[in-house]
Amino acid sequence: MERVYRTDLKLLRYFLAVAEELHFGRAAARLNMSQPPLSLHIKELESQLGTLLFIRHSRSVALTHAGKVLMEESRRLLTSANQALARVEQIGRGEAGRIELGIVGTAMWSEVRTIMRGYLKAYPNVDVIFRERSPVMQMALLERRELDVGIWRMATEPSAGFSSIRLRDAAFLVAMPEDHPLVGETAIALADLQNEYFVTMPSAHSDWAFLHRVCQQAGFSPLIVREAVEPQTVLAMISMGMGITLAADSYAKMQWPGVVFRPLKERIPADLYVVYDERQATPAVNKLIATLIAG
DSSP for the chain, please give it.
Answer: -PPPP---HHHHHHHHHHHHHS-HHHHHHHTTS-HHHHHHHHHHHHHHHTS--EEE-SS-EEE-HHHHHHHHHHHHHHHHHHHHHHHHHHHHTTSEEEEEEEE-GGGGGSHHHHHHHHHHHH-TEEEEEEEE--HHHHHHHHHTTS-SEEEESS---PPTT-EEEEEE--BEEEEEETT-GGGG-SSB-GGGGTTSEEEE--GGGSSHHHHHHHHHHTT---EEEEE-SSHHHHHHHHHTTS-BEEEEGGGGGS--TTEEEEEBSS--B--EEEEE-GGG--HHHHHHHHHHHH-
Q: Residue 1's pLDDT band (boundaries 50, 70, 90)?
A: low
What gap in Å lies between CA 288 and CA 268, rounded to an integer?
A: 28
> What pLDDT sits at residue 159?
82
What gap in Å lies between CA 171 and CA 155, rounded to an integer?
A: 12
Which domains are delineated in the chain?
Answer: 9-92 (1.10.10.10), 96-169+271-294 (3.40.190.10), 172-263 (3.40.190.10)
> What pLDDT sits at residue 206?
66
Sign of the Cα torsion 145, 150, 156, 158 reads positive
- The torsion region of residue 97 among left (phi > 0), alpha (psi -120 to 50) and beta comes to left
Query: Which has the closest alpha carbon to 252: 261, 243, 244?
Result: 261
Q: Residue 18's pLDDT band (boundaries 50, 70, 90)?
A: very high
Beta-bridge partners for 244: 198
What gap in Å lies between CA 177 and CA 216, rounded to an integer?
A: 23
Q: Which of 26-40, 85-99, 141-155 has the lowest mean pLDDT?
A: 85-99
Summarize pLDDT for 164-223 with one digit per residue, the tens.
Answer: 999 988 999 999 999 999 999 999 999 999 999 999 988 766 678 888 889 999 999 999
Q: Which of 40-49, 54-63, 151-160, 267-276 has the lowest mean pLDDT?
A: 151-160
8 Å CB contact between 201 and 229: yes
Mean pLDDT of 83-110: 84
Q: Residue 91's pLDDT band (boundaries 50, 70, 90)?
A: confident
For residues 108 and 166, the model is more confident at 166
Q: Using the predicted structure, report yes or no on whether residue 78 has a pLDDT greater than 80.
A: yes
Q: Which of 4-8, 35-39, 48-52, 244-248 has the lowest mean pLDDT?
A: 4-8
> What pLDDT sits at residue 205?
62
Q: Which of 63-67, 82-86, 97-101 has the lowest mean pLDDT?
A: 82-86
What gap in Å lies between CA 121 and CA 93, rounded to an integer?
A: 16
Q: Residue 293's pLDDT band (boundaries 50, 70, 90)?
A: very high
Q: Tell me the pTM.
A: 0.69
> What pLDDT sits at residue 229?
84
> What pLDDT sits at residue 160?
84
> What pLDDT sits at residue 2?
62
For residues 136 and 54, the model is more confident at 54
Summarize pLDDT for 158-176 with one digit per residue, the tens.
Answer: 788 899 999 988 999 999 9
**How does the average pLDDT of the chain come out, rounded?**
90
8 Å CB contact between 23 and 16: no
Q: Which residues in 240-271 are b (16+ Cβ under 10 Å) and which e? A: eebbbbbbbbbbbeeebeebbbbbbeeebebe
8 Å CB contact between 230 and 152: no
Q: Residue 4's pLDDT band (boundaries 50, 70, 90)?
A: low
